[in-house]
Amino acid sequence: MFDLVYNTIFFASYSNFYGLGNITLGLFDVILAYIVTIIVSILVALVLKVPLLPSKPYRYSFDVSAIYPTPIIAIGILSIFLVLNYTFMYNGIVLAVVIGILSALFVKYLFDFVFPKPLDADEGEDM
């Protein structure tokens, strides 16, 4: 789990099936892309009026927020693109910004449809 950055660099340099053997990502490039994705996803989520933190109690809350799951989804999608050796332009920075924006839009508008909230124990099943 902690070798995500190193595995990303290994697979990005190992699977150059496009003939781009001289183009490689460094450790700094991957970490910078992750940081940009996290910052952009949180900022866009806040612009879209997603709350910064979920409602209390935090432990049992299924509300979406700008802190969780927005950057987690963005990091996961960016990792998939980096492992597949697709970095687009500027060593993945432009891709990181686009993924950050799209993940914030996904959390704001589609997250509840894809991952519905569980039913309350008091309500029971819908009839």
Tens-level pLDDT at each residue, the chain (127 residues): 456 666 666 665 555 544 444 456 778 888 999 999 999 999 999 999 999 988 887 777 788 899 989 999 999 999 999 888 788 888 889 999 999 999 999 999 999 999 888 776 665 555 4
- Using alpha carbons, list the distances in angstroms from residue 121 to 13, 53, 55, 93, 126: 50, 24, 18, 45, 12
Q: Does 31 reside within a domain?
A: yes
Range of the domain at 33: 4-16+24-113
Q: Does 121 reside within a domain?
A: no
Q: Does 30 reside within a domain?
A: yes
- Integer Cα distance of 53 and 113 in angstroms: 20
Contact 64, 58 (CB under 8 A): no
Q: How many domains does the chain have?
A: 1
Contact 78, 101 (CB under 8 A): no
